[in-house]
Structure 1
Amino acid sequence: MIKKIVILSVMLQGAAYAETVIPEQIKVPQSYSPILTVHAKGDQIYQCSLNQGEYAWTMLAPDAKLFDEEGKLVGNHSAGPLWEYKEGSRVVGRVVNKIDKAPGKAISWLLVEVVSHKGDGLFSDVSFINRVNTNGGLPPSSGCNANHSGSEKRVAYTADYIFYGK
């Protein structure tokens, strides 16, 4: 019997709730429970770089605002990757696993393990993060060559982030 974890996720548009089934590949360990779900809206920032003789867009950083289920701004998501909650607590994570739920349409869903904490507050107890319900954010499909080396492009994305603690 396969155990499914179902999380309520929030979409800002009309505060519609949808059930999200977390795929096995990105589930957190069973001893952790969700403590916060936020909706992110912002950009994935890419840079045109030369890698192994070929130019390609590489991920630089996210730049997103985090909103609660009422649509109120509660934090930010930026390079690190770093998540900061409104009262100042922060976490930095590293990607443990990912799954492409909408190849060619949206960035991957992720399992992120927190590797550092700063400040006291809600994020002080966070150990894992899921990025789910992604929309957009893929690297640009063109415009990266020697003439564009070092240039940056922002690509709009939305996602839900679920923060887990013990």
Structure 2
Amino acid sequence: MKKTCATLSAIAAVAVLAGCASGPMMGSKPFSQADLPGPIQVPSGNRVAWETVGAGDITYECKDNAGKVEWVFAGPNAVLTDRAGKTVGKYYGPPATWEANDGSKVTATQLAVAPAGAGNLPYQLVKANPAMGSGAMTGVTYIQRVALKGGVAPDMPCNAMTRGQKTTVKYQADYIFWKAA
């Protein structure tokens, strides 16, 4: 009987831990945009629908841009995970596309950016275009890029001799998806 109780207790503990890993994180607070710069705050009448973390690479290309040779943003390639760390989609481009594991996806138009600290991509607010396919991206109105780490153009020579070269840099950002309330 003791062995059976111990086994059942162990199974129950594993089940509880598995439930915690797949469900909402304990102690996590709902996303608040109160501390974000005004230009990237989502207008009222929208609610947070999905919080993800994007981690991956930003590709830059050394090329002519407005009369000078410099590193120019060429596109992202990141995995999107939920707050529990489960892969839920991807972010890639061009054009910038957020795609859920269910196949639904959106592109968007940039509305605003704001500085997010030295060495980090800027905060960003985009207005979503109508979703392609049906699923998690259906009805998304806005996407915010917040909690940024890295992703800026490389600190290496970009000149006539290196024109055409591409390089990638690591980055991480939270992507907050909004839908009409």
Aligned amino acid, residue 108 of structure 2: G
Q: Where does the alignment leave 5 or more consecutive residues of structure 1 unmatched?
A: 1-13
Instruction: Look up the match of 2:38.
Output: 24
Equivalent residues of 2:130, 2:138 under 8 A apart: no
Partner of residue 160, structure 1? 174
Report matched runs for 1:27-42 at 5 Å.
Answer: 27-42=41-56
Q: Which amino acid aligns with 2:161?
A: N
User: Going by fraction, where is strand more abundant, 1 or 2?
Assistant: 1
Query: What is the deviation of 1:54?
Result: 1.5
Cα distance between partner residues in 1 of 2:26 and 2:37? 24
Choose 1 or 2 for highest CA Rg.
2
The aligned residue for residue 97 of structure 2 is: 82
SS in 2 for 1:117: coil
Give CA deviations for 1:20-53 in whole Å, capped at 9, x if unaligned: 5332111111001000000110011100001233
The answer as to 2:114 corresponding to 1:99 is yes
Counterpart CA distance in 2 for 1:47 and 1:151 is 6
Q: Which runs of 4+ in 1 moved over 3 A?
A: 14-20
Structure 2 runs not aligned, ≥5 long: 1-24
Using a 3 Å threshold, how does the CA distance of structure 1 residues 138 and 74 change in structure 2: closer, same or farther? same
What RMSD, in angstroms, separates the aligned Cα atoms of the two structures?
Answer: 1.8
Distance 1:15 1:152, change over 3 A: farther
2:97, 2:55 → 1: CA distance?
15
Work out the CA distance in 2 between the residues paired with 1:30 and 1:49.
Answer: 40
Tell me by how many angstroms 1:134 deviates. Answer: 0.4
Per-residue Cα deviation, 1:88-141 (whole angstroms, up to 9, x for no partner): 110001110000020x32000000101232000010110100000000000012
The aligned runs of 1:1-166 (5 Å cut-off) are 17=28, 21-79=35-93, 80-102=95-117, 104-166=118-180
Q: Which has the higher helix share?
A: 2
Contact 2:58 2:169 in 1 (8 A): yes
Instruction: Figure out how many residues of one structure are paired with residues of the other and give that number.
Output: 152
CA distance in 2, matches of 1:60, 1:115: 21
Overall identity of the aligned pairs, in %? 30
